[in-house]
Amino acid sequence: METTNDTQNPGLSKPAFQYAIIMALGLILISLIFYLLGHPTSRLSGLLAYPVIIAVLIFGIIKFRDEFNGGAITYGSSLGLGTLIGLFAGLIVAVFTFVFYKFIAPELLDVLFVEAKNSYLEREPTATASELALYLRLIEFILTPIMLSLATVFSTTFFAFIFSLIISIFVKRKPIVEAN
């Protein structure tokens, strides 16, 4: 029995990585646009990431289902593929995040620190000096290129998983059984 590469299922890793590249490029592009426009800490940039993640997940899962899986995909495979796309995209964006905050715009860490401090003081106007100092030490620990990169991997994977839970409900499809 001879098979060709055209008909073999490539597994989940290869397609997941291909769609992760698309997702990562979209997320990086959003970040760069807001940085270049002078709004690198805008909440809107974070909100625009969700439609990118959702669109790539829908596109990637459906394309995999239809082109490599004979038009069928289980809920679990769909969920797994979506989560893997998110993980790979998170790893790619994490590398960008590290390079960005370490070499391109390290001054943004100071901006983020000041914003976090001001936000805390607005939320907790009666905070004591020791509470503020503890919070600021925590923020200093978090606002490093490596920690931001790790947070990127976790958050991208997490949101891809959550969105895939919902998307998989709609894209799952049982294989068509032909009667002889």
* Domain boundaries, given as residue ranges, for the chain: 13-103+147-171
Residues 1-26 have pLDDT tens digits of 444 444 566 789 999 999 999 999 99
Per-residue confidence (pLDDT) for residue 134, from 0 to 100? 97
For 49-78, write each residue's pLDDT tens digit. Answer: 999 999 999 999 999 999 999 999 999 999
Residue with the larger pLDDT of the pair 3 and 35: 35
CB 171 within 8 A of CB 79: no
Q: Looking at residue 86, what is its pLDDT?
A: 98
